[in-house]
Amino acid sequence: MTLKVAIRADAPIPLDLSFEVGRGEVLALVGPSGSGKSTTLRTIAGFWRPETGRVEVGGALWLDTAGQRFLPPHRRRAGVVFQEFALFPHMTALGNVAAAMGDLPARARASEAGRLLELVHLGGLGHRRPAELSGGQKQRVALARALARRPEVLLLDEPFSAVDRATRARLHDELIGLRAQLSMPVVIVTHDIGEAQLLADRMVVIDRGAVVAQGTTAEVMSDPAALRRMGLREIAAMLSARLVAQEPDGTTRLDTAGGPIWLPRLEGAPGQRLRVRILAHEVILSRARPEGLSAQNILAGRVVSLTPGEGPGVLVRVAVGEDQIMARITRRAREALALEPGDPVHAILKTMTVARGHVAPDADAGAARAQRGGAGRGFRIGGADPTGAGGSAPRAPRSI
């Protein structure tokens, strides 16, 4: 099941872009306000018809302006989560989710809606109305309602922008955990580059309706030219880690391929796989393993490449096991260390420079657990699950 999108339009926002999203893949549309991100999402969902465009899902055409084909929104199996929740205020959480299941008998709707609320960690709150829920709880109800349609595509439009930072971090973790049970393409719209890096496999960066960068999150975030075109200076990379222990001093020990690191206290159990976002300007490099430093996080690695940046800067890519992190140093520092590709180095990172919102569960590890039957009781969401796991057969389209 692959989503293929191509759009060209002059108004209301000039658009000229194309991209694909594979089955179970998360793609982030990133860009400033007014760049065309939400308009692209509305085109996929059928809420807007461009002058020229094509939207194909699993070989089925939802939009083909050349062939004069336009499938209305209620006939597109798209689950949409809006920034402002868009819940029915007079209905309970259970009723909001069940409302997306109009083709099922009432008794079956209630049972299925309850299961979806359990899936998004709202079991026991189905009787509450939106006014009685927090922002994070409302967003979970909206996600459960979108999934109730057994969508072939899941579309998330700035889904976390209306909640506080702590809630946003928890929702990030929950969405990553849920990915193991999603079998459809997922497109998330965000202006937060860090959020995109934590959640997405691939990234499409849009500015003024045109694609300025596209690729895996690692490719986009490690490309200085792409970041300059985005108007960003915050280069970062993701480091794989395993939670080892909660230390008595209030830190959490993680093991990485380059050695142990300690971060401010994280929620989680020993053995959990995590991904840590490391900012390039927070990394210091040393030829020899340093001693007598307050910084305790020292990772052994090897220089992969050195790329000149703006002004006196040099971006150094360092391999740490199968991962790569980046360090932004000056040319003077590069010359003093005589760094060349292949050289062994030590990357130094202060514990307090990694924020809680820069650590997330490893989605690949969650998917592996699900394949072994260790997550979600075999329940899998998606309109084209060939295994039929989760009980019910694929359903007819429903409208939210």
Structure tokens at 283: 């990394």
Nearest 5°: CA angle at 254, between 329 and 360?
80
Which among 164, 173, 176 has a CA at the least distance from the CA of 134?
164
pLDDT at position 117: 94
Q: What are phi and psi of 300, to 5 degrees?
A: -85, 130
Structure tokens at 248: 């008595």
User: What is the helix (H) or strand (E) element at residue 317, kind and residue range?
Assistant: strand 313-320
Task: Give the largest Cα separation in the chain, rounded.
Answer: 73
Residue 378: how many CA atoms within 13 Å on its side-chain side?
Answer: 6
User: What is the helix (H) or strand (E) element at residue 288, kind and residue range?
Assistant: none
Match 């359990």 to its residue by tokens: 118
- Give the separation between CA 6 and CA 61, rounded to whole angstroms: 12
Which among 142, 45, 42 has a CA at the least distance from the CA of 87?
142
Structural domains in the chain plus CATH codes: 3-234 (3.40.50.300), 237-361 (2.40.50.100)
Match 């990379």 to its residue by tokens: 237
Which among 232, 195, 240 has a CA at the least distance from the CA of 357?
195
Strand partners, 182: 381
Burial annotation 231-254 (CB, 10 A radius, 16+ → b, else e)? eeeebbbbbbbbbbebeeeebbbb
What distances in angstroms separate CA 228 from CA 108, 337, 362, one per listed residue? 52, 27, 28
Structure tokens at 8: 């060209």
Alpha helices in the chain (DSSP H): 37-45, 93-98, 106-119, 135-147, 165-178, 193-199, 217-221, 224-229, 331-337, 363-371
pLDDT tens for the chain, 400 residues: list them: 899 999 999 888 899 999 999 999 999 999 888 889 999 999 999 999 999 999 999 999 999 999 999 999 999 999 999 888 889 999 999 999 999 987 788 788 999 999 999 999 999 999 999 999 999 999 999 999 999 988 999 999 998 887 887 888 888 888 888 887 888 999 999 988 888 888 999 999 998 889 988 999 888 887 766 776 666 666 888 899 999 999 999 999 999 999 999 999 998 889 999 989 898 889 999 999 998 888 989 999 999 999 887 678 888 999 999 899 999 999 999 999 999 999 999 999 988 888 766 888 886 654 444 443 443 333 344 553 333 333 333 333 322 2
Exposed/middle/buried for residue 291 (C-beta within 10 Å: 0-12, 13-18, 19+): exposed
Exposed/middle/buried for residue 345 (C-beta within 10 Å: 0-12, 13-18, 19+): buried
Crossing angle of helices 106-119 and 135-147, rounded to 10°: 130
386 Cβ neighbours under 8 A, 6+ residues apart: none
pLDDT at position 160: 85
Q: Which amino acid is at 362?
A: D
pLDDT at position 371: 43
Contact 29, 193 (CB under 8 A): no
Q: Which amino acid is at 355?
A: A
pLDDT at position 335: 95
pLDDT at position 232: 60
- Give the separation between CA 96 and CA 383, rounded to whole angstroms: 20
- Give the separation between CA 196 and CA 231, rounded to whole angstroms: 16
